[in-house]
């Protein structure tokens, strides 16, 4: 008898609960449109239906989730195939968490009611997709010829002309919400330290003091020539100290550990913070090593800063800058530039900063240009010129080179007999010839144990033709 009574009670509860939902909307919204499509964001809108509100889902892949009646979803909530972008009555939305040249999918479900009475129209949601704008320099570099003797001067003139944005509060009000913040639940947002990858969750607005973050000067303020003129602490009021291309978003702790030391490969570890390390390199110099997928970003930030401000109160080569700049190994910067090429985030960042400063980081748009410059003294190397048109870092058709990167030996394997008996030349980043020999047969090994870590150029000449290729030595 008790069992029958419990069953009837349960059945009644289910029926009561089912009928307690709000009335389902009769139609979905319509006419989804996109405007102001940028590499870093866009505006999405739609025509409303007769409904209390809308559940907006967003993903970089096809959305398969369907909302469940009675379930309350939150902005920032991750579902199996998407993320909740918005819940509410508005029909115009600024879309962030966008990367350049990527496809994004959206679905909008109308609903009525609130709380556990919420009722979604689950069929035929409003759906569409859109491509974000790709990273595109357009005609920006049309006046730059990497083979020209004036290459560095022309590049400096091009990027030095830009609009200064404020270090405080500008960076927190622009860079953080557009590029770094991601929505999560409970009305909060999340950012990650670019040095350590530590995740920080907080209730907006972002505060450098409250969240204990810094705008890290990748090329340190104390290194800058104008630090002696204005004082390092005051440089945030000048273009060279407030340039967004030189600033990374980092937790205060790894930034303080880095201090004004060079960035490099830590061989003897003194301390770690997340994915970052501090210690000494193979020469015994104190160096800081950021996480792997920001090493190239840091290198290209330093390269930009040196070219952009060279000549401001003196030369901006590593051997000309102040304090510990002389210990910054340019080979490490060039190594990281190759190992960690610009990814979608860095290219998106380039586009956004360009919209604010009206200049670009050429080493994000053209990473290979790093080999054209000796950053110790800001002079042109011989790595450009005749080979400036080669975009593939591998050798031309007819020759294979491996392993690349190399450690103890490099193998050159001819795929075309026309290079047999060819002359081999290896040049370092300064354009100096460090090895020269003959092929003599279809395969040749070069001992690279005594080569310094860094980028090199291999040239093989035979029968009036030449093949070029870049390779990397890592010890």
Task: Answer with the residue of higher pLDDT: 31 or 149.
Answer: 31
Residue 318: other Cβ atoms inside 10 A: 24
- Each residue's pLDDT tens digit, 166-199: 999 999 999 999 999 999 999 999 999 999 999 9
| Cβ proximity of 471 and 459 under 8 Å | no
| Cβ proximity of 427 and 459 under 8 Å | yes
The yes-or-no verdict on residue 160 having pLDDT over 60 is yes
The yes-or-no verdict on residue 14 having pLDDT over 50 is no
Give the fold, CATH level 3, of 393-473.
Immunoglobulin-like (2.60.40)
Indicate if 393-473 has the same CATH topology as 2-131: yes
Whether omega for the bond prior to residue 133 falls within 30 degrees of 0, making it cis, is no
Long-range pairs, 7-13, Cβ under 8 A, ≥24 = none
Task: Answer with the residue of higher pLDDT: 108 or 4.
Answer: 108
| Cβ proximity of 71 and 102 under 8 Å | no
Q: Report DSSP letters for 389-413, one per residue.
A: T---SSPPTTEEEESSSBSSEEEEE
| 300 burial type by CB count under 10 A (0-12 exposed, 13-18 middle, 19+ buried) | buried
Q: Token pair of 192, please? A: 């990650």
Closest alpha carbon to 393 in 303, 468, 293 = 468
Whether omega for the bond prior to residue 306 falls within 30 degrees of 0, making it cis, is no
pLDDT of residue 398: 56
Q: Token pair of 345, please? A: 């985030």
Per-residue burial over 183-200, b if 16 or more Cβ lie within 10 Å, else e, is bbeeeebebbbbbbbbee
The yes-or-no verdict on residue 1 having pLDDT over 90 is no
Task: Answer with the residue of higher pLDDT: 334 or 399.
Answer: 334
Rounded CA separation 442/134 (Å) = 43
The pair phi, psi for residue 122, each rounded to 5°, is -90, -10
Map residue 262 onto helix, strand or coil. coil
pLDDT bracket for residue 262 (50, 70, 90): very high
Rounded CA separation 371/375 (Å) = 9
The yes-or-no verdict on residue 147 having pLDDT over 90 is no
pLDDT of residue 431: 61
pLDDT of residue 85: 98
Task: Answer with the residue of higher pLDDT: 339 or 129.
Answer: 129
pLDDT bracket for residue 236 (50, 70, 90): very high
Closest alpha carbon to 207 in 248, 249, 254 = 249
Rounded CA separation 65/82 (Å) = 7
The yes-or-no verdict on residue 12 having pLDDT over 50 is no
pLDDT of residue 424: 85
CATH class of 2-131: mainly beta
Sequence ranges of the domains in the chain: 2-131, 151-380, 393-473
> Quick one: average pLDDT of 269-296?
97
Q: Which of 72-76, 144-148, 261-265 has the lowest mean pLDDT?
A: 144-148
| 227 burial type by CB count under 10 A (0-12 exposed, 13-18 middle, 19+ buried) | buried
The yes-or-no verdict on residue 465 having pLDDT over 80 is no
> Quick one: average pLDDT of 365-394?
71
% of the chain with per-residue pLDDT over 70: 90
pLDDT of residue 391: 33
- Each residue's pLDDT tens digit, 106-123: 999 999 999 999 999 999
pLDDT bracket for residue 377 (50, 70, 90): very high
Task: Answer with the residue of higher pLDDT: 146 or 279.
Answer: 279
- Each residue's pLDDT tens digit, 64-95: 999 999 999 999 999 999 999 999 999 999 99
The yes-or-no verdict on residue 396 having pLDDT over 80 is no
Please state, rounded to an integer, the average pLDDT across all residues of the chain.
90
Q: What angle do CA 140, 364, 172 make, to 5 degrees?
A: 95
**How many helices (DSSP H) and strands (DSSP E) are in the chain?**
10, 25
- Each residue's pLDDT tens digit, 295-316: 999 999 999 999 999 999 999 9
């Amino acid at each position: 008898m008790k069992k029958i009574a419990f069953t009837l009670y349960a059945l009644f509860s289910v029926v009561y609960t089912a009928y307690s939902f709000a009335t389902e909307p009769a139609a979905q919204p319509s006419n989804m449109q996109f405007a102001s499509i940028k590499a870093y964001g866009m505006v999405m809108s739609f025509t409303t239906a007769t409904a209390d509100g809308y559940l907006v889902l967003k993903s970089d892949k096809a959305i398969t989730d369907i909302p469940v009646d009675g379930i309350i979803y939150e902005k920032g909530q991750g579902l199996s195939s998407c993320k909740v972008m918005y819940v509410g009555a508005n029909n115009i939305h600024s879309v962030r968490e966008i990367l350049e040249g990527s496809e994004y999918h959206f679905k909008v479900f109308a609903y009525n009611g609130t709380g556990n009475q919420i009722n979604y129209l689950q069929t035929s949601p409003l759906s569409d997709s859109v491509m974000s704008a790709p990273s595109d320099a357009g005609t920006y570099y049309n006046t730059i010829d990497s083979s020209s003797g004036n290459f560095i001067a022309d590049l400096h003139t091009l990027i030095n002309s830009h609009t200064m944005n404020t270090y405080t509060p500008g960076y927190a009000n622009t860079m953080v919400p557009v590029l770094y913040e991601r929505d999560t639940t409970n009305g909060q947002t999340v950012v990650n330290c670019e040095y350590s990858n530590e995740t920080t969750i907080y209730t907006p607005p972002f505060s450098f003091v409250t969240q204990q973050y810094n705008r890290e000067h990748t090329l340190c303020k104390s290194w800058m020539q104008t630090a002696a003129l204005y004082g390092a602490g005051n440089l945030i009021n000048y273009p060279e100290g407030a340039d967004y291309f030189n600033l990374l978003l980092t937790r205060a702790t790894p930034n303080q550990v880095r201090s004004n030391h060079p960035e490099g490969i830590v061989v003897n570890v003194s301390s770690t913070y997340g994915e970052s390390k501090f210690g000494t390199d193979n020469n015994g110099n104190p160096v800081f090593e950021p996480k792997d997928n920001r090493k190239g970003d840091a290198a290209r930030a330093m390269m930009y800063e040196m070219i952009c401000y060279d000549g401001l109160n003196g030369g901006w080569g590593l051997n000309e800058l102040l304090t510990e700049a002389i210990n910054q190994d340019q080979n490490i910067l060039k190594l990281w530039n190759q190992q960690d090429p610009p990814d979608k985030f860095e290219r998106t960042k380039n586009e956004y900063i360009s919209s604010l400063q009206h200049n670009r980081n050429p080493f994000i748009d053209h990473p290979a240009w790093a080999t054209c410059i000796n950053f110790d003294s800001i002079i042109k190397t011989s790595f450009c010129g005749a080979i400036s048109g080669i975009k593939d870092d591998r050798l031309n058709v007819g020759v294979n080179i491996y392993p690349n990167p190399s450690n103890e030996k490099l193998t050159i394997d001819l795929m075309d007999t026309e290079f047999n008996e060819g002359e081999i030349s290896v040049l370092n980043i300064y354009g100096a010839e460090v090895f020269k020999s003959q092929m003599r047969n279809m395969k040749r090994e070069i001992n690279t144990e005594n080569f310094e870590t860094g980028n090199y150029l291999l040239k093989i000449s035979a029968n009036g033709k030449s093949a070029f290729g870049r390779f990397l030595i890592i010890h």
